[in-house]
Structure formats: C-alpha cells, structure tokens
Structure 1
C-alpha cells in the first residue's frame, strides 16, 4: 500500500464557486503559472505517484457554496484517478482544507474525531487546548486555525489505523512592517505551533496507550534551520511528535547532532537573494508497531530523487504543481 502527503499550493484557486475546474490561461496563485498549467501538472504528479491514499494539504475550500469533497472527486473524475473518493474532517476559514483522496477498493476511511470527555485526554481538534507555554503559571488557550483531520482507516486486509492529517501553524511573520514586529510575530507563531504539536502528541499518546496503530502525516511547517528562533524553546514541533512515539527517518536524520545533507520537501524562491530556500516541512510519521510492516519512505524531489530527475516531464510537473513535493510511504498493510 502507498500513502502520500502532498501540499498543493493555491489548489483552491483552480475551482470556481460551484467547484468546477478552471482550465484556462488565467494566472494561478503560482508565480508565472497559468491555471491550465497547474491543473495539468497536479494531475501528472498524482497519476505518477499512483498512491492508494493521498492527504491533500491546502485542499479546495468548503464554504457556503463550495465543497472540498465535491471538488476533489470532480478532479479525480476528470483525470480518471483511481483515488476517486474523498473524505475530510473539520472545515476551516482559511480556504486551505485537509482532505484525503483514496481508492475505495484498497481501503475505507471515515472522519472519526476523538478526545476530551470521551476518553479523558486532550480535546478534539475542533476544541480548545489549555497549556502554560512559557511557565508563567498562566494558561494559554490554543485553537487550530486548520483543525487536524482524524480518520479511522481500514485496509482491505483488515488492518485498522488511526490516520491524522495535520497542517501546523506557520512560523513566518506575515504582515510584519518592522524588524521588531517580525521578531514578535515569529516568536508568537512558534509558541503557538509548539502548543499545537503538544496537543497532537497527546492525542497520539492516547491512541498508543490503547494499542492502536497511528500514522500522522502532513505539513508540520517545522524543520531544522528555518529561522533564528528555533533554539529559543529548546525543542521543535517535530521533536515533540517524535518523542510521543512516532518515527519518520527524514525527521530523525534531520535532528541528528551532525545530520549532513538534510532532506527537503519544499522549495521557495528568494528573489531578493537570488536563490531558492529548501526546507524539510512534510512528514509521514508512524507508530513503532508499524515499523514491522516494511515501510519505505520517498520524497518526490525533482532534483534529489533520481527517477524524478531522469524524467523531464515529471521533473517539470513537480516544479509547476506546487512549492512542496509529495512524500510517500510504501507499507505492507
């Protein structure tokens, strides 16, 4: 079985108010990329990956008229993808939803949020989480702007897995108009992201205590070397999740004392510097019991993955489709 996580930048811009695909020469949200070019590139990447289930991060919007599931299933039908069914969790107000495209002949998936009074642990992801972030004896109240999606997944072979899709708070100081304001926003965002990671970790720990298998995947917006404040709190969001009992070889490698070349899942233009910034942001973390099912991870990086590099059409599609690259996990479930 192949599972994937893929952050598709500005995916919502490719659908009209009735969730119909817009395939024309108007500009997408991607720089110098038309909607038709991005639509074709996304379809090429999804087809080439041939995953049994794909977490779409920044999926099309759900609102008064729009519906994420309808949009994704329409996209799958248009390009004859076998991942023709979609499921999502709690909708949010950011026009960046979390949803799973999956092949119903291989697995079933349903939204199954847990937490709070139900099991005496951390609250459901659409609730509030109370934590003292800075040891000042005052509780901070944390909410998710993009509540993680918690699914009950059952494979054709009968294996059951708790699958959690996440898109954690970005640490970027968006809207800052001065250096001091950028510092303040960056620190506040990092504190909130760490709190979200603790919330996720406690939900994971509850599932593990109940002898359930867990897969957590998505864009954690965290990795070594991303900003100058990463040592301020002593540990990263990724480290918090690894310490909860999860494993991802890319995350482990990146957090070694001397990691060497760090894997990358995203590539952002820095025109003012004349270069690109690469970062490890996207992960597929599994509980320790699943390591016995022959897991193999792969980052579909256009320049670092030899197969992607050797196929010019695939390489170009990855660069046009998004500023993130897919991560896949092949596992015998």
Structure 2
C-alpha cells in the first residue's frame, strides 16, 4: 500500500464556488503561476504518485459556500485518479483544511475523533482536537488555554485485506511572526507562536500515547512546520515539535527515517521536503517540514519512505515533466510511504 502526505499551497484558490476546477489563465495563489498551470501540475504529480491514500494538507476550504470533499473529488475525476474519494474532519477558518483523498477499492477511511469534550474547563483525559487544551509552558504558574487552528484529522482505516489502523493528519501552526513591525515584535511573536506550537505538539503526543498504549497501529502524517535546529527559539524550550510528537525510541515512539536523520544532523546532509524563495536574500530555503511517522509494530511491514523532491530524487529529476510539475504545483513536495498492510 502507498500512503502519502502532500501540502498543496493554495489548493483552494483553484476551485470556484461550485467546487469545480478553475482551468484558465487567472493567477493562482502561487507566485507567477496560473490556475491552469498549477492544476495541470498537480494532476501530473498526483497521477505519478498513484497513492492509495493522500493526506492533503491545505486542502480546499470548507464553509457555507464551498465543500472540501466535493472539490477534492472533482479534482480526482478531472485527472482520473484512483484515489477518488475524500473525507474531511473538523473544518477550520484558515482556508486550509486537512483531508484524506483515498482509493475506495483499497481502503475505507472514516472520520473517528476521540477524546473528551472540555468546553472551557479543564478535565481529565486528552481533549478532543476541536476542544481546548490547558497547559503551562513557562514558569508563571498560569495555565494557557490552547486551541488548534487546524484540528488534526483522526481516521479509522480498514484495508481491503482486512487490516485496521489509525491515521492522524496534522498541520501544526506556523512559527512565522506575521504582522511584526520591529525586532522586539518579531521576538515576542516568534516566542509566543513557538509556545503555542509546542502546546499543540504536546496535545498531539498525548493522543498518540493513548493509541500506542491501547496497542493500535498508527500512522501520523502531515506538515509539522518544525524540525530540530530550524530556528533560534527552539533552545528556549529544549525540544522541537518533531521530537515531542515522535517520542522516545521503542514501543511508545514513532519512527520516520527522515526525522531521525535531522535529529542526527551534525555534519551529515539532511533530507528536505519544501522549498521557499527568500526574496530579500535572493535565494531558496529548503527544510524538512513534512513527515510520515509509523508506530513500532508497523516497522516490520517493510516500510519504505521517499520524498518526491525534484532535485534530490533521481527519478523525479530525470523526468522533466514531473520535475517541472513538482516545482509548479506547490512549495512542498510529497512524502510517500510504501508499506505492506
């Protein structure tokens, strides 16, 4: 089985209010890329991946006028994808949903959130992801109340072979200090955003621990917007979100070889899954932000990871159409897991 995660930049801008693809020369949400160019590039990438399931990060938005599931299924029909059914969890107001596009002949995926309802009060147990989480991340002895801006998507998955596993799609909040007008504001917002992101990671880790303690097979995938050494504010809190979510090695930890590589980074080259242009510096920044993590019991099912990077992956590089499509489609690249389940 092939399972992937793919952050598609401004996917929602490619659909009209009837959830149909916009295939014209109007500019898309991507710089200097038209709607038709981005849509065609995405079709090429999704067709090439040919995955049984794709966790779509920044999926088309869900609101009173627009429907994420209808938009994704319209996209799948347009490019004749095997993964032609979609499932959405809790919607959000960021225009960046988390949804799974999957092949109904291979798996059945159902939104299955767990956790306690909290309202605004602290309760025992791990809150449901559309509720609130109480935590004190600093030394002021005052609890912070945290919400997910993009609640993770929790799925119960059953395969055609009769296997079962849990899947969680996540997109943790970015640490970028948007709106800052001075150096002091940059520092203040960066620290505040990292505190919130770490709180989300701790909340997510608590849910992961619940599944692992229950003996559930688990795949956690998506954009964690973080990695060890990604910014200077990490040292204020000791660990990155990635380290928190993965946990320790062993039965209660999750495994992703790319994540392990950045933990051992030292002087060795590290994998990357995204590429952003820094206009002020006139160069590109590459980072590993996207992950597919599996529980220890799934490590004996011959898992094989691949980042479809247009410059680092040889097959992606040598196929000109695919290479150009990957660069046009998004500022992130798909991370793909092949596994025998």
TM-score (norm 1): 0.98
1:200-215 superposed matches below 5 A: 200-215=204-219
Contact persistence 1:121–1:202 (CA under 8 A): no
Alpha-carbon distance between aligned partners in 1 of 2:58 and 2:197, rounded to the nearest angstrom: 17
Higher mean C-alpha deviation, range 16-25 or range 301-310: 16-25
Structure 1 position 231, deviation (Å): 1.2
Task: Report if the CA contact (8 A) 1:121-1:206 is conserved.
Answer: no
Cα distance in structure 2, aligned partners of 1:148 and 1:281: 16
1:117 positional shift: 6.2
1:250 aligns with 2:237: no
Deviation at 1:197, TM superposition (A): 0.4
In structure 2, list runs of 5 or more residues that go unmatched: none
Determine the C-alpha separation between the residues in 2 that align with 1:327 and 1:95.
22
Give, in whole Å, the separation in 1 of the partners of 2:104 and 2:125: 31
Write out the 4+ residue segments of structure 1 that deviate beyond 6 Å after TM superposition.
none
Which one of the candidate residues 189, 197, 208 is aligned to 2:201?
A: 197
Indicate the residue corresponding to 2:115 in structure 1: 115
Offset of residue 328 of structure 1: 0.3
Match of 2:85 in 1: 85
> Secondary structure at the residue paired with 2:299?
helix
Structure 2 equivalent of residue 184 of structure 1: 188
Give the C-alpha shift of residue 224 in structure 1: 3.0
Of the three residues 166, 170, 191, the one matched with 1:162 is: 166
Give unmatched runs, 5+ long, in structure 1: none
In 1, the alpha carbon distance for the partners of 2:75 and 2:265 equals 43
TM-score, normalised with respect to structure 2: 0.96
User: Distance between the aligned counterparts of 2:18 and 2:267, measured in 1?
Assistant: 47
1:114–1:124 Cα contact (<8 Å) kept: yes
Q: Residue 332 in 1 paired to residue 336 in 2?
A: no
Q: 2:230 matched to 1:222? A: no
Look up the SS of the partner of 1:126 in the other structure. coil
Aligned to 1:53: 53
The equivalent of 2:301 in structure 1 is 293
After TM superposition, give the deviation of residue 229 of structure 1 in Å.
Answer: 1.0
Instruction: Determine whether 1:140 maps to 2:148.
Output: no
What is the number of equivalent residue pairs in this alignment? 333
**Residues 1:282 and 2:290 are matched in the alignment:** yes
1:7, 1:58 within 8 Å by CA — same for their partners in 2? yes
Q: CA deviation at 1:257?
A: 5.6
Once the 2 structures are TM-superposed, how far is the Cα of residue 259 of structure 1 from its aligned partner? 5.4
1:231 is paired with a residue whose SS is: helix
CA distance in 1, matches of 2:229, 2:23: 38
Alpha-carbon displacement from aligned partner over 1:51-103 (angstroms, at most 9, x marks no partner): 00000000001100100000000110111111110001000001100000000
Q: CA RMSD in A?
A: 1.3
Identify which of 225, 231, 237 aligns with 1:233: 237
CA distance in structure 2 between the aligned counterparts of 1:138 and 1:51, rounded to whole angstroms: 46
SS in 1 for 2:232: coil
Q: Residue 80 and residue 133 in structure 1: after superposition, are their counterparts in 2 closer, same or farther (change >3 A)?
A: same
Cross-structure match for 1:266: 274
Query: Per-residue deviation at 1:159?
Result: 1.2
CA–CA distance in 1 between the matches of 2:214 and 2:267? 34
